[in-house]
Amino acid sequence: MSHIRTTGSPTTGRRRRGVRVLSLGALAAISLLAGCRQDMQDQPKFIPQRGTAFFPDGRSVRPQVLNTVARGQLHEDQYFYTGLVNGKEQDALPFPATLAVLERGQERYNVYCTPCHSRVGNGEGMIVERGYKPAGNYHDAKRLAQPLSHFFYVMTNGYGAMPDYSAQLTPADRWAVAAYIRALQLSQNAKESDVPQGVQVKNLSDIAEQQGLPASFAGPWPIAQSTYVMAKPANEGTPANAPAQNQNPPASKNHAPVNPSTPDGGAKQ
């Protein structure tokens, strides 16, 4: 009887092929790990505000290339961003004074301006009543004569004891507030001749009585004298730690730097 010699069962063949595949996989993994050196984790890089020996000046943060402009910083309309034309303030808005603009200006004014200037802009806001330096009265002859962009300029740069509000208000919002200041000036200095023809002019005291309120409701409201922090007289020290010396913005051609010795030198705009 003859014997037939075999090379192995099918199971054994599959086992050998599996071993070869595992061997190749292990070899590939070893090659990959050998390529991932620690240098890739600790590769040289620039960390903000840290020095470097790569550049001659030793700074890792590179200055902008001359005359380049970042996105959103072109500022083509100089008047819109500065309120000045050839260094002078102008009595004009850079865009139409729509109802939406005035409503936005009123909302921003009530948030940021009323604490000092009050809701009607007479400079008698709550923190002024409690000792802060007097704020500008938008209804006196000086502010009524100032051009519209003056208010934008002051909000941008600050003036006297008033800090700038460029961080709190965008340029468009500063213009909206300036437009609303003009509306406030008109509201407190309006004449019957300003009313369109055919519109009836009503007395505020009559309107108050029609709504069941006393006629005195339309008059000036008395300010309470009993406050937690009493206001100091103007000639006693520096109220509310307001700066004794004026920190002036760059002077425009419309007005010179403020002299701290003048009576209006510390007044806010």
The predicted model scores a pTM of 0.58
Distant-in-sequence, close-in-space partners of 160: CB < 8 Å, separation ≥ 6: 133, 246, 248, 258, 265, 266, 267, 268, 269
- Beta-carbon-side half-sphere exposure of residue 129 (alpha carbons within 13 Å): 15
Decide if 229 contacts 130 (C-beta within 8 A). Answer: yes
CA distance 96 to 176: 10
pLDDT, residue 224, reads 52
Distant-in-sequence, close-in-space partners of 162: CB < 8 Å, separation ≥ 6: 116, 135, 136, 154, 268, 269
pLDDT, residue 191, reads 83
Give the fold, CATH level 3, of 89-189+226-269.
Cytochrome Bc1 Complex; Chain D, domain 2 (1.10.760)
Q: What is the pLDDT of residues 172-194, one digit of tens each?
A: 999 999 999 999 999 888 888 88
CA distance 17 to 226: 96
Dihedral-angle region of residue 200 (phi above 0 means left; psi in -120 to 50 means alpha; beta otherwise): beta
Angle between helices 171-188 and 148-157 (to 10 degrees): 130
Q: What are phi and psi for residue 171, nearest 5 degrees? A: -55, -40
Q: Which of these ranges, 14-28, 109-123, 151-165, has the smallest mean pLDDT?
A: 14-28
Q: What are phi and psi for residue 266, nearest 5 degrees? A: -100, 0
pLDDT, averaged across the chain: 79
pLDDT, residue 175, reads 98
In order of 1, 12, 14, 20, the CA distances from 9 in angstroms are 22, 5, 9, 17
pLDDT, residue 131, reads 87
Q: Where are the domains of the chain?
A: 89-189+226-269
Q: Report, as an integer, the average pLDDT of 11-40.
A: 69
CA distance 104 to 172: 10
pLDDT, residue 39, reads 60
pLDDT, residue 268, reads 56
Residue with tokens 């920190």: 247
Share of the chain above pLDDT 70, in %: 71
Q: What is the pLDDT of residues 226-236, one digit of tens each?
A: 544 444 454 54
pLDDT of 85 over the 50 cut: yes
pLDDT, residue 227, reads 46
Q: Which of these ranges, 30-34, 60-64, 123-127, 200-204, has the smallest mean pLDDT?
A: 30-34
The 10 Å Cβ neighbour count of residue 51 is 13
Q: What is the pLDDT of residues 129-163, one digit of tens each?
A: 888 888 999 999 999 999 999 999 999 999 988 99
